[in-house]
Amino acid sequence: MIKNEQTFTRLREEMVETQIAARGVNDDRVLAAMRKVPRHLFVSEALRDQAYNDYPLPIGEQQTLSPPYIVADMTQALQLGPNDRVLELGTGSGYQAAVLAQWAYRVYTIERIFGLYQRARRFFDRFHYHNIVTRYADGTNGWPEESPFDAIIVTAGAPEIPAVLVNQLAIGGRLVIPVGSAHVQELIKVYRDQDGIRQVTLGSCRFVKLIGEHGWTTS
In the residue annotation, 93 being an active-site residue is answered as no
Catalytic residue among 44, 66, 181, 219: 66
SS3 of the chain = CCCCHHHHHHHHHHHHHHHHHHHCCCCHHHHHHHHHCCHHHHCCHHHHHHCCCCCCEEEECCEEECCHHHHHHHHHHCCCCCCCEEEEECCCCCHHHHHHCCCCCEEEEEECCHHHHHHHHHHHHHCCCCCEEEEECCHHHCCHHHCCEEEEEECCEECCCCHHHHCCEEEEEEEEEEEECCCCEEEEEEEEECCEEEEEEEEEECCCECECCCCECCC
Catalytic residues: 66
